[in-house]
Amino acid sequence: MLKAAIVGATGIVGQQFLVALNKHPWISIAALAASERSAGRSYREAITDPKSGALRWFCEEPPVEEVMELPVQNAIEMDTDGINLIFSAVESEQAKILEPAFAAKMPVISTASAFRYETDVPVLIPGVNSEHARLIEKQRKGRRWQGFITTQPNCTTTGLAITLKPIYQNFGIRAVVMTSMQSLSGAGRSPGVLGLDIIDNVIPFIVGEEEKVQRATQKILGALERGSISPAAFNVSCTCTRVNVKEGHTEAVFVSTAEKCSVEDVIKAMKKYASVLSDSGLPSAPQQMIVIHDDPFRPQPRLDRTTEDGMATVVGRVRPDGVLPNGIKYVLVSHNTKMGAAKGAVLVAELLIKEGYIR
Ligand SMILES: NC(=O)c1ccc[n+]([C@@H]2O[C@H](COP(=O)([O-])OP(=O)(O)OC[C@H]3O[C@@H](n4cnc5c(N)ncnc54)[C@H](OP(=O)(O)O)[C@@H]3O)[C@@H](O)[C@H]2O)c1
């Protein structure tokens, strides 16, 4: 059994890590860390609101009792003796400082954006670009680290990249236009989104998000050639908005393909690709990466985000688009804190364990 530490364990993604690793067959939770504010308390105390006494637990699953009395350490001085890997769920500014210090000694799988665009750091989605894991060798050598950093895509990119993969593979892509309707949990707990700002409202801007989606999509679908990634050669244009949904990002996607294809061709390609991980033996892998509905009222975040325990991207409304050349359009829902963050990161760890990068 490998021993993991979760850094940023008290946050929204950190809590999802506790759930994703609860009773995991290969990885156990051995240490929890967060900021100086939480350090020195039990996990239960650290997530209890000091004024009201309420437990600030955000997952739909109940709190993971097995780790509630574990002490929370100050991440910057965390004891890493006996730890085999780190899951990092802190904001980018903290990740910039903490992650290289950990990676000098051990593998770090990060949900933060701090290292996402470095040329020697893979942005992994198993089944989409598993081969990019080979960048780890280059990174270790170049940085003289015993460990390494791999990053998750930002949560808005995950479902987009997964659904574009079979289209790109089969028909090529000229351009992608996407509008997201992103959930509140995507903004994290601190600062998060204030209730009064989002009730009866849509917020039309998320700082930095559109650039992240554009760059990460090209990197994930890029080709690993002679030790570096050549980004996929199509442009992505997007508008990212925040809506009053707790969990699950919805995206309206328009794709201009290189080769002409019908709606039926696209659905067939997605269905064929969907089982890419079904025989992988990875404990967190979905049987189906993509689940397609023909009911025009699906997907909806409330109905569909937990499909395959939040690990499937749910697609509906696949139809022709008459404005873009060779246009196809569809709507997707992807669970931003499961496949889009913590459980997706656990899936990456499983792939890297299977391939011998983590021992
Ligand atoms: N939310 C999502 O849907 C989502 C999806 C994909 C990726 N991400 C990324 O995942 C990361 C975490 O996001 P989140 O939504 O979980 O944020 P969050 O709810 O605000 O949690 C932030 C965590 O970071 C800790 N922290 C703050 N300052 C720290 C410091 N100086 N040293 C160590 N730990 C510190 C906090 O600990 P305290 O409790 O002690 O303050 C808390 O555990 C971010 O990089 C985010 O961009 C989020």
The atom of ligand 1 lying closest to the CA of 16 is 16
Q: What is the pLDDT of residue 200?
A: 97
Helices (H), the chain: 12-21, 43-46, 92-103, 135-143, 155-171, 195-198, 209-220, 263-274, 301-304, 342-354
Angle of helix 155-171 relative to helix 263-274, nearest 10 degrees?
110
What letter would DSSP give residue 116? T
Task: Output the CA 319–ligand 1 centroid distance in Å.
Answer: 38
8 lines ligand 1 (CB under 6 A): yes
Q: What is the pLDDT of residue 58?
A: 95
279 in helix, strand or coil?
coil
Q: What is the pLDDT of residue 191?
A: 80
Mutate to test the pocket of ligand 1, among 13, 47, 109 (most ligand atoms within 8 A of CB): 13
249 counts as catalytic? yes
> Please, what are the averages of pLDDT over each run of 10 residues along the chain (359 residues)?
98 98 98 97 97 96 97 97 98 97 98 97 98 97 98 97 98 98 94 93 97 97 95 97 98 98 98 98 98 98 98 98 98 98 98 97
User: pTM of this prediction?
Assistant: 0.98
- Contact 139/149 with Cβ under 8 angstroms? yes
What are φ and ψ of residue 244, in 5° steps?
-85, 65
Catalytic residue selected from 59, 132, 155, 293: 155
Q: What is the pLDDT of residue 285?
A: 98
Tens of pLDDT along 267-303? 999 999 999 999 999 999 999 999 999 999 999 999 9
Side chain identity at residue 282, one-letter code: L
Report d(CA 58, CA 53) in Å as an integer.
Answer: 15
Task: Output the CA 229–ligand 1 centroid distance in Å.
Answer: 28
The atom of ligand 1 lying closest to the CA of 183 is 3
Q: What is the pLDDT of residue 190?
A: 80
Tens of pLDDT along 11-52? 999 999 999 999 999 999 999 999 999 999 999 999 999 999
261 counts as catalytic? no
